[in-house]
Amino acid sequence: MHTSPRPADPTAVDAAAPASRARALTKVYGTGAAAVRALDAVDVDFASGAFTAIMGPSGSGKSTLMHLLAGLDDATSGTVHLGTTEITSLGDDALTRLRRDRIGFVFQSFNLLPMLTAEQNVLLPLDLAGRAPDRAWLDTLVATLGLQARMTHRPSELSGGQQQRVAIARALIAQPEVVFADEPTGNLDSRSGAEVLSFLRRSVRELGRTVIMVTHDPTAAAYADRVLLLADGRIAGDIADPSPESVLAGLEGLRVLEAPAGTPTGATPVVDVTAGGRR
């Protein structure tokens, strides 16, 4: 059943087609005077086999960007591609199939189904697709995430960190092209958060997945290969190989940008920023 498009081989990270791509992506909430431009003509590419963090202050549009990239919400204008598929024009059924087969999600509040065991939760996307689980891949995931002893437990019997690891396994089980993580450490203590983040990084480095994570925590963002900064619905910065310090500095820069002093937008980035994500 492995007929759906697979992500490029990890060694082919530099291949031409990015895992996810947005062009002139715009999202407007409300109409007339109450209209809010959550995303303003954003152009961005996410490389395959990379771990990207999207950061920005509240209301910067980072969550909206992720929803649109994942096909969870409709764009006002612009296009989103997942691999070579343009998803902005897809209907609900096609989007559902796309999410099921080609996208994985990790949520802030884990969102495991309480009535299913950990294993059943992990296998849910395959069950929904009517696909037989790839046992070897399941074992790999379970071993990597350290869940061997927990697979028969229900979510209520698991700690927050364990629940989130189960959620990561669920996101990866169908070998999706992209995993979207929405504040995956938001509900976790720092130790569990660190664990979860290293698992996400390992899934990129060792398992060749593509992960796009939204977070407001610079320490979390520092686990990524690249940090994308958003402000006012636009790309405001792009940090490669970030460290907590460089991320913090980038955020400081945004605060400067936001300052009412009338500083020309994007004119004096504190860190090396490639505006618009173009390389």
Of the pair 96, 263, the CB lying nearest another protein is at 96
27 near another protein, rule: CB under 8 A: no
| 163-182 binders of another protein (CB under 8 A) | 170, 182
The phi and psi torsions of 38 (rounded to 5 degrees) equal -75, -35
Residue among 40, 45, 127, 258 that touches another protein (CB under 8 A): 127
Of the pair 13, 129, the CB lying nearest another protein is at 129
Tell me the site size for another protein, rule CB under 8 A.
29
73 near another protein, rule: CB under 8 A: yes
124 near another protein, rule: CB under 8 A: yes
- From the list 67-75, 136-144, 199-207, 248-256, the region that binds another protein by CB under 8 A is 67-75
> 19 near 7, Cβ under 8 Å?
yes
| 177-216 binders of another protein (CB under 8 A) | 182, 186
134 near another protein, rule: CB under 8 A: no
- From the list 103-111, 136-144, 202-210, 267-275, the region that binds another protein by CB under 8 A is 103-111
> 131 near 100, Cβ under 8 Å?
no
28 near another protein, rule: CB under 8 A: no
- From the list 89-97, 145-153, 235-243, 251-259, the region that binds another protein by CB under 8 A is 89-97
Beta bridge partners of 28: 37
* Side-chain half-sphere exposure of 272, counting CA atoms within 13 A: 7
108 near another protein, rule: CB under 8 A: yes
Of the pair 68, 239, the CB lying nearest another protein is at 68
Between the alpha carbon of residue 254 and those of residues 218, 228, 231, 271, the distances in Å are: 13, 12, 7, 10
Give the whole-angstrom CA distance, residue 26 versus residue 168: 29
Of the pair 184, 250, the CB lying nearest another protein is at 184
Q: How far is the CB of 271 from another protein (least distance, A)?
A: 29
- From the list 17-25, 34-42, 110-118, 227-235, the region that binds another protein by CB under 8 A is 110-118
Give the whole-angstrom CA distance, residue 180 versus residue 212: 5
Between the alpha carbon of residue 37 and those of residues 5, 59, 182, 220, the distances in Å are: 34, 10, 21, 27
- From the list 25-33, 45-53, 79-87, 119-127, the region that binds another protein by CB under 8 A is 119-127
- Sheet of strand 20-29, all strands in order from the earlier edge strand to the far edge: 36-46, 20-29, 77-82, 85-86
Residues that bind another protein in the complex, under the rule CB under 8 A: 63, 67, 72-73, 92-93, 96-97, 99-101, 105, 107-109, 111, 113-116, 124-125, 127-130, 170, 182, 186
